[in-house]
Amino acid sequence: MVIQTPSQAHIIVLGNEKGGSGKSTVAMHVAVGLLRLGFKVATIDLDTRQRTLSRYFENRSQRAAEYDENLPQPQHHTFQKSKYDARSVASNDEAWRLGEMIGQLRLGNDFIILDCPGMDNFLAREAHSYADTLITPMNDSFVDFVLLGDMDARNKRVLDPSIYSDMVEEQRSRRSLRDGGKIDWIILRNRLSPLNARNKQDIEDALAALSDRIGFRTVGGFSERVIYRELFLHGLTMFDTIEDASEDIPYSASHIAARGEVQQLLEALNIPAILQRTAPVIANDAGPKAGKRVA
Ligand SMILES: Nc1ncnc2c1ncn2[C@@H]1O[C@H](COP(=O)(O)OP(=O)(O)OP(=O)(O)O)[C@@H](O)[C@H]1O
Ligand SMILES: [Mg+2]
């Protein structure tokens, strides 16, 4: 079968100005999932302060060396904050450097993943304006929802788009002016609890009421699972062969379920090149295996 890859890199932005919603977690899982499907992936960490994604790939390199494991890596870049103090000069400098970086990475890669900081800043706005796909993870709570839409507390009716939605709308216009392109905006519900069915339904209803008005779609979410956080220090995801599953990383049914959730997200991106690469490619590579640390 002939597999088509995108002619120029498809840009996926992880954005939500609400901190701690899962942007970096989703970025690392999507990046490794795409690498495991054989795509060339570049990643850019725009969180110049926390550097979560950069730390994760550092852990991954260290892990590969220590255990002599063949762990696919993206071409990773940590974006450097401008050295200029004057705000307008710094903004121009950052905008120019980000544009250059994306322009260069576009040529040699199938995907570029940008991980935004959990705040509204110039760099995050700029990044949104380059998105082909924008993934916004949100915790399943009205505390997070109100950044998307204002709510009437008495009857839980959605009133209007809110600050983050307005920002996305602004960047959609910029994107359209720049190259006529469109942003496919996906809301990913994160840390879904197996309990609290009432709250889940309320959020689902509120998202449904807002999605047509501001143009996003929701996809099957990620559950609250220890596995999404415990592999961080090891630089792994559940798509990697877990060499020492019996030691510090117990292999469980949660690995399989979480892998299914990430795979579902990759498919929901609705990108033909991904859909052409069959699901078992990811699944066959993963699983527990007795292994030894390199001395
Ligand atoms: N589905 C999940 N199950 C369990 N823990 C999760 C899940 N998703 C994220 N986490 C944990 O929640 C915390 C916040 O996640 P993460 O750092 O990915 O969010 P973020 O949006 O990138 O944050 P920031 O805005 O600070 O950059 C981390 O400790 C992460 O391990
Ligand atoms: Mg982050």
d(CA 72, CA 193): 31
Task: Say how many Å lie between the CA of residue 242 and the centre of ligand 2.
Answer: 24
Residue 2 lies in a domain: no
Number of domains in the chain: 1
Residue 1 lies in a domain: no
Query: Hey, which of 24, 25, 119, 225 would you mutate to test ligand 1's pocket, going by the most ligand atoms within 8 Å of its Cβ?
Result: 25
Residue 47 lies in a domain: yes
The phi-psi region of residue 235 (left if phi > 0; otherwise alpha if psi is between -120 and 50; otherwise beta) is left
Domain carrying residue 50: 10-288
Query: Whole-prediction pTM value?
Result: 0.92
d(CA 268, CA 276): 13
Residue 3 lies in a domain: no
d(CA 33, CA 11): 15
Task: Say how many Å lie between the CA of residue 245 and the centre of ligand 2.
Answer: 27
**pLDDT band at residue 251 using 50, 70 and 90 as cut-offs:** confident
Which pLDDT score is estimated for 155?
80
Task: Say how many Å lie between the CA of residue 81 and the centre of ligand 2.
Answer: 16
Atom of ligand 1 nearest to the CA of 137: 21
Which pLDDT score is estimated for 6?
52
Q: Does residue 235 have a pLDDT over 60?
A: yes
192: domain CATH number is: 3.40.50.300
What is the average per-residue pLDDT within 165-169? 96
The answer to which of 43-57, 126-140, 153-167, 178-192 has the lowest mean pLDDT is 153-167
Residue 204 lies in a domain: yes
Residue 97 lies in a domain: yes
Pocket of ligand 1 (CB under 6 A): 19-25, 47, 50, 52, 117-118, 190-191, 222, 224-225, 228-229
Task: Say how many Å lie between the CA of residue 41 and the centre of ligand 2.
Answer: 19
What is the average per-residue pLDDT within 243-254? 65
Ligand showing the shortest atom-to-Cα distance for residue 221: 1
Give the closest residue (by CA) to ligand 1 atom 11.
229
The pLDDT tens digits of the residues spanning 71-111 come to 999 999 999 999 999 999 999 999 999 999 999 999 999 99
Residue 293 lies in a domain: no
Q: What are phi and psi of 3, to 5 degrees?
A: -100, 125
